Amino acid sequence: MNQKSTIRSVRRVALMGLFFALSLCFSYLESMVMIPGLPPGVKLGLSNLVTMYCLFFLGKSSAYSLALLKSFFVFLTRGPVGAFLSLCGGLLSVTSMTAVESLKGKKLSYTALSIIGAVSHNIGQLIAARFLVNQFLFYYIPVLLFSGVVMGVLTGTMFGHLTPYLKKIDC
């Protein structure tokens, strides 16, 4: 490798480390904010802003890497059950957004892709929970779908407003 590509690789690794730390800070922040009336397990999904940045600006390998790193951190802090839920939700979310984004035709807005990611994340966690408790939790589907749409709109709108500034990050 030449010096220029080495510097670019080092910058990318450092940037991924910063994004991982930022996603953990967002996750911690949203765990500290109690919003009255939210059902158990429903979060704002602020760390998904970082995952979306990785997916749309750094590529799908960076987004998958971030989802894996976040799940490993959940394993260290909350144990294997939380890690399994995080892994299934994160991987399905990134896969869904990648699949929809790669479809030929009209590009979807960041808000629409965020909704797809949030709903997919919830479905992934629901599927994982099915294997953990050996029953499917049908009653929670409407709650997770509705919260996925609402939180997806919030994070997608935030991401859309931040995009002009995020494009300036050179990696």
Taking residues 146-163, report their average pLDDT: 93
Q: Which residue has the tokens 């399905």?
A: 92
Compute the mean pLDDT over every residue in the chain, rounded to the nearest whole number: 88
pLDDT for 132 equals: 87
CA distances, 111 to each of 3, 34, 60, 108, 140 (Å) = 39, 24, 18, 8, 24
Pick the CATH number of 3-166 from 1.10.1740.10, 1.10.1760.20, 3.30.460.10, 1.10.510.10: 1.10.1760.20
| pLDDT greater than 80 at residue 41 | no
Element (H, E) at 161: helix 141-166
Band (pLDDT 50/70/90 cuts) for residue 80 is very high
